[in-house]
Amino acid sequence: MITGKFPNLRLRRSRKYDWSRRLVEENSLSSNDFILPIFIIDGKNKKQAIKSMPGIYRYTIDHLEKVVNEAIKNKIPMIALFPCISQKKKDVFGSEALNEDNLVCKAIRFIKLKFNNEIGIMCDVALDPYTSHGHDGLIKSQYVLNDETVDILTKQSLLQAQMGCDVIAPSDMMDGRVGKIRKKLDKEGYEMVQILSYAVKYASNFYGPFRDAVGSKNSLKGNKKNYQMDFKNSSESLREVALDIKEGADIVMVKPGLPYLDIIKLVKDSFKIPVFAYQVSGEYSLIRNGIKNNLIDKNSILESLISFKRAGASAIVTYFALEIAKKIKN
C-alpha cells in the first residue's frame, strides 16, 4: 500500500523528537505484560545463585514472601513456580509430583495464606523436575508414554488446584492432556481454574540453563524430540493449538520466544485466543552475558520484550520481569 511520495511525505518527521516518537509508537510494555518465574528449593533461609543464569536464584519458601511482595508492589499480575528437588526424592515415575506436601504444594499454600488473591499463581504440569531420568513423563524402551503420562498429569493438576493454584500450565506436550485435565477439574468443582497450555513447545537448544535451575540437566537421558515439536516446523503449531483450544485451553503458550516470533504471530493471527510467550533461560543468559561483556547495550532487554508484543503476545514469561517492571514504573 502506497500512502504518499517523497518529498511531500517524510517519514523521519515523526522521528525527530522524543515526544513525537512516543506519540506514534505502535507497541509498549507495562507490568501487566509480565509473568515472573520463581525457582524454589527445600530447606530454610536459602537464596541460592544459579551459575548459568546470572542474577537469578533459587529460594526456600521462607524467602518467598519478599520476592512475591516485590512482584505485587511492581504490579506484576502472576508468578510461575518451578521446583528444584533433591535427587533422593526423584524416581522413574515422578511420584513426588503427587505428594501433597511437595515443594510446589507447600509454596502455593504459603503464598495463598500470605497474599490471598493479590497475585496469580501458575504451576507447571510436567514430571521432569520429579523423574530420575529427567523426562516429562513415564518411559518405556526409551520412549515417553503418552496416555499413561496423561493419567499422572491429570492427578498432578487436580492436586495443584486443590492447593490453590490459579493457572494450571501443562508443559509436557503429551497429546490429549488438556481435555483430560479440564474434564477432571470441572468434575471436582474447579471449573474456574484456568488452563494455560504450552501448546507450542519446541525441542529447543535454548533450555539448558533452566534444566540446570530445576536440577534435571545431569539426569536427562537422551533428548525430548519424540514429544516436543521439531523446530523446523511451523504449520504443525496451528494443529497443536487447535487441538488444545477444542480441549479447553484458556490461553496458549509459545516456547521458546525470540527464535519463534513468527510462530507467535502465526498463532495470534489464526486464533482469537490469548497467546503468551516464554523468553526462556537460554535467551535470558545470552542477553545478560552479552550486556555484562559489553557486546550489546542494556536496552536490548527492552527491545527483546517489545518484539514479543509486536509479534502479538498478550503476556511474556521472562526472568527480566521484575527488573523491567521497576524500570517502567520509574
The residues annotated with a catalytic role in the active site are 201, 255
Is residue 165 within 8 A of residue 108, CB to CB? The reply is yes
- Residue 53 corresponds to which cell in the numbers above? 543464569
- Residue 221 corresponds to which cell in the numbers above? 537421558
Is residue 244 within 8 A of residue 237, CB to CB? The reply is no
> SS3 sequence, the chain?
CCCCCCCCCCHHHHHCCHHHHHHHCCCCCCHHHEEEEEEEECCCCCEEECCCCCCCEEECHHHHHHHHHHHHHCCCCEEEEEEECCHHHCECCCHHHHCCCCHHHHHHHHHHHHHCCCCEEEEEECCCCCECCCCCCCEECCEECCHHHHHHHHHHHHHHHHHCCCEEEECCCCCCHHHHHHHHHHHCCCCCCEEEEEEEEECCCCCHHHHHHCCCCCCCCCCCCCCCECCCCCHHHHHHHHHHHHHCCCEEEEECCHHHHHHHHHHHHHCCCCEEEEECHHHHHHHHHHHHCCCCCCCHHHHHHHHHHHHCCCEEEECCHHHHHHHHHC
Question: Largest Cα–Cα distance of the chain, in whole Å?
Answer: 72
Is residue 214 within 8 A of residue 80, CB to CB? The reply is no
What is the separation of C-alpha 33 from the centre of its chain, rounded to a whole number of angstroms?
13
Cβ count within 10 A of residue 236: 13
